[in-house]
Structure formats: structure tokens, C-alpha cells
Amino acid sequence: MYDEYEEIQQFLDEEADSYVPFEEVLEGHGFTFEEALNGAENYRSKFFSLLRKNGITSNNINVICMELAEKLQQNHNDEMLFLYTAMLTENGLLFGNITDSEQKILLWFDQSEKAEFLAEIITNEPVFRERIRETVNSIKSINTAAEIDREEQALLYKMALEHGFLYKARGNVFLENIGELVRQVNSNKHLKAVKPYVYSAVLCKKNKLITGRKNYSSNIGVIFEPTEYRIDKDNGKNYDTYQSCVELYEQLRRHYYDECDVEFSDYCFANLSNLSEWYYDSCELDEDIPMTLKQTVEMLAETIELSSEIDDISEFIDDNPVLEISYLNVLYESETWSDFVDAMRNDEDIHEYAEKLYKLAEA
């Protein structure tokens, strides 16, 4: 156990170890100081310019959020995507009264990277949903005459036995069933593209059958249907199993990284069960496990850091603590944003979301 002094010293040591001189940050991003400062200022200018171009003229931050949500429902073009991702990744660059040039640059580097990451996830959502449908439809065409890759069979068997919920399954039945699974996957190009997900999902969702039933051939289509694990209560065994399932996926992901579509595999893992949600709620985070879009939005909302000052884009907010609190509530209210994300993703009406923002705006 550390005493208070030792904890403070450890924190200072960690901060010192992670410190990167500003000049090295610039060099790492490939910018001169002037280029980076112009980039930061242009990013902010672009945001407010596009708001005006798309008819969002209010100075009320809450109303900006509401109108942006409505515009997004009507039009999913690149401008709307930029505005949406910029709003969700706000860290003080857009609405904070930042005067220090180095701080502006660092905030821009941070925000633009997060916004680009979020935009990629949003853009991939409909593409990956369609790919799941294509994959399920393609399973009917698996070639039953395909050969078993014995080397891959042995490797997958060995990896499976390293995990707690499977290590007792050692034996010929499990080995042969692993071979059948490998044959099925290698017989279909759609399944081959997502091997980490397919192998981990079959081993986790069908572990009793694949480890104990002789000549078991998995109905792989089932793993592309959503599965809800009991993640709200630990019965003394299920949490250990969930941990093993997450670790198995991460191991398979690393092994097949160069030969599979890892982004699509990650999407399947994150969206076709609630194991990712359980992991981020329950575990000490050692690995970069994929998240759903909703989880990503909530994570970004939790990292928002705003200046306590409000700049002159909303003059009526200055010296008005009620409106300032309302403004901060919108940007920190991850649930409101995640509800909106779900509604947009499922092509649902967002009026309930808009009503929430109106109420905040009237606070």
C-alpha cells in the first residue's frame, strides 16, 4: 500500500515519463508551428461557418445541438458528419475561450484524431450491417467437400485450450469438431474475412456442443444473431467465462490480423453480443477491445474537457451561471447523445431527443 506522499510521487513520475516536448509533438504530426496553428483556427472556423451555411444561426449551445440533430436526420452528407463528430469530440477548441496557441494546437490534434475515428465508425455502420446480411446469406453455399486445414485445426485447438472455459475439453471429440469448424470457415470467403469473430463466437456461444458432441457441425448463421449475456450479476462463474471469451477474441484478432478484415470482425464482436459492454463496465482495461458506436460516443463524452470561460459566440451566456450550467450539461450528458445515436442508427424519430435539448435550453 502506498501512503499519500508515495502516490503523489508515483503520479508525478508517470506524468514525467509520458511527457513529450511540444516540438516533438509537432514533428510527429508533420506540421510546423504556423501550419498547426492555422489548422486549429481553420478547424474552428469551419465548424461555425458550416453551422451558418446549414441554417443553424442560434447562439444558444443547446439549440445548436438540437438543430444539428434535426439536420442530421434530414441529411447525412459530409458537412453534417463533420459538424456531428466535431460536436461530440469537443474538448474546448470550439467553445472554450482558448488564447494560448500551443494549447489550441494540442486540442486540435486531439479533437481531429478523435473526430476522424468517430466519422469512420459512423460511415462503416450501414456498410457492416449489410455485410452481416450478405455473410448470413452466403453460408448456404459452403462447400461440404472442402479439405480441413490440419495446421490451422491444431493451432485453433491449442489456442482454445489456453482459456479457462475450454481447457478441460482436451480430447479427440473437441479436436475433430474444431477441424469441422475450420473447414466450414475456409469454405466461405465471407466467413474467412471475419475468422477472429467466427471462431471466438462459436467457441463461446456453442462451447458445450463443440466440446462434447461427437461429429458436431455448427450452424454458423446463429452467431450473426444478437446474443445478450447476463452481465448485471456475477454468479461466481459467468464473469470468468466472459473474461475468457474476451481474451480469446483478442488473441484470435492478433493472430489473424494480417489476413482478415479486422474492422468488420471488431464490429461483429462489439455489436452482436454485450460482451464488449461487460468488459468496459467490469474489467481493468488491459486490451483494446472493440466498442459499439454508442460506447464510443459515451467514451468521447466522458473525456470532454472545457474551459470554465465561455467565449463571445454566445454573449448572453457570459455571466449567466444558469445558461452556463445548461450548456455544460448538454456536452457532458452522454446519455442524451447515445440515445440520439441509437435513434439515428435505427432510422427512428429523434423528436424525443430534440425535446430533451429544448428543455435544457430553457433551463
Most confident of the ranges 173-187, 225-239, 315-329: 173-187
pLDDT (tens digit per residue) in 282-292: 887 777 899 99
Q: What percent of the chain has pLDDT over 90?
A: 47
DSSP 227: B
Residues 199, 204, 209, 214, CA torsion sign? positive
As a whole number, mean pLDDT of residues 92-107 equals: 89
- Identify the band that residue 297 occupies on the pLDDT scale cut at 50, 70 and 90: confident
The better pLDDT of the pair 354, 257 is held by: 257
Q: Is the per-residue pLDDT at 9 higher than 80?
A: no
As a whole number, mean pLDDT of residues 218-232 equals: 92
CA-atom Rg of the chain in angstroms: 25
**Range name among 64-78, 152-166, 245-259 with the lowest pLDDT average:** 64-78
DSSP 242: H
Q: Is the per-residue pLDDT at 31 higher than 60?
A: yes
What's the pLDDT at 154? 95
What's the pLDDT at 342? 60
The string of DSSP codes covering 159-188 is HHHTSTTTGGG-SHHHHHHHHHHHHHHHT-
The C-alpha angle 310, 43, 357, rounded to 5 degrees, equals: 50
Q: Is the per-residue pLDDT at 325 higher than 50?
A: no
Q: How far apart are CA 342 and CA 216, in angstroms?
A: 38
Most confident of the ranges 53-57, 200-204, 207-211, 318-322: 200-204
The better pLDDT of the pair 314, 243 is held by: 243
What's the pLDDT at 315? 42
pLDDT (tens digit per residue) in 303-324: 554 443 334 334 433 443 333 4
The better pLDDT of the pair 281, 143 is held by: 281
pLDDT (tens digit per residue) in 116-162: 998 998 889 999 999 999 999 998 766 666 789 999 999 999 999 99
**Range name among 80-84, 93-97, 180-184 with the lowest pLDDT average:** 93-97
What's the pLDDT at 259? 93
What's the pLDDT at 257? 95
The better pLDDT of the pair 172, 65 is held by: 172
pTM of the model: 0.75
The string of DSSP codes covering 278-317 is HHHHHS---S-----HHHHHHHHHHT----SSB-GGGGGG
Q: Is the per-residue pLDDT at 6 higher than 70?
A: no
Q: Is 80 within 8 Å of 357 (Cβ atoms)?
A: no
The better pLDDT of the pair 331, 344 is held by: 344
Q: Give 9's contacts (C-beta < 8 A, 6+ positions apart).
A: none
